[in-house]
Structure 1
Amino acid sequence: MVKQGFKQSQSDHTLFTKKRGDKITCLIIYLDDMIITGDDNEEIQSLRENLVKEFAMKDLGALKYFLGIKVLRSRHGIFLRQKKYVLDLLAETGLLECKPAETPMITNHGLKIEEGVDLADRERYQRLVGKLIYLSHTRPDITYAVGVVS
């Protein structure tokens, strides 16, 4: 990608960008999946052609689903959803029947260890917090609560 004039992001090493004038092309790669986007149609077409020459690949068309995030388009914009991810997480934790809360956590609430109470399974707790962090990409309303528990 660097040979083709793209710059690798320092904050996300899977993201490559190329600017030409006031236009930009972005490529993000995760294992064997990639997303190409931007407003430079000429550069996007050139990138596709060069990638096909180098790699055996298939164009799946407009993005619909990526890393557990569903991409929906309407005349109002592009929307990201993780409904299946949420349902799987609720099933894993036994909370499928839970009721939604408008405010998932009281502001400035601190966590503390209570005497005489069994500690949670550390690995399971960390795994669930990691899943909640990933969920907060499309649910910024839970970011505060996830930050507290993490």
Structure 2
Amino acid sequence: MASCFQMSNLGVLSYYLGIEMRQGKEMLTLGQSTYASKLLEWSGMAECKPCMTPMEERLKLMKDSTMAKVDGTLYRSIIGGLRYLVHIRSDNSFVVGYVSCFMEDP
């Protein structure tokens, strides 16, 4: 490609679009811990304790809840960030998909 295009060597890729890359001799490891930390800080949940399961078991959410409404723009932004996080952490895809059902009227 260098013969067809003007290129410069910027070194080993380590961070791109929120995805961290660690390159070894025989493997490439992808992660998003920095992105996840920034998302937690931005959403005001940086001080929350981690848990083994991403969602309470047998949780039933309803669209016609009596709870106070939340800021829809903030909710959609957080869900969008979580959807991007699922690219690396596919174990959270069910939970993110579940809460995405409430993006219209959070």
CA distance in structure 1 between the aligned counterparts of 2:90 and 2:17, rounded to whole angstroms:
18
CA distance in structure 2 between the aligned counterparts of 1:60 and 1:68, rounded to whole angstroms:
18
Mapped pair 1:114 → 2:65: yes
2:75 corresponds to which residue?
Answer: 125
Which of the pair has more CA radius of gyration? 1
More strand per residue: 1
Mapped pair 1:101 → 2:55: no
For each residue in 1:8-38, what CA deviation from the matched residue of structure 2 results, as whole angstroms up to 9, or x when unmatched? xxxxxxxxxxxxxxxxxxxxxxxxxxxxxxx
The equivalent position to 2:20 in structure 1, one of 70, 76, 88, is 70
Identity of aligned residues (%): 35
Equivalent pairs counted in the alignment come to: 99
- What RMSD in Å do the two structures reach over aligned CA positions? 1.9
1:104, distance to aligned residue in structure 2 (A): 0.8
8 Å CA contact retained: 1:64, 1:71? yes
Q: How does 1:19-30 map to 2 (within 5 A)?
A: none
Structure 2 residue matching 1:50: 3-state secondary structure:
coil
For each residue in 1:24-54, what CA deviation from the matched residue of structure 2 results, as whole angstroms up to 9, or x when unmatched? xxxxxxxxxxxxxxxxxxxxxxx232121xx
- Bigger relative CO (Cα 8 Å, ≥ 6 apart): 2
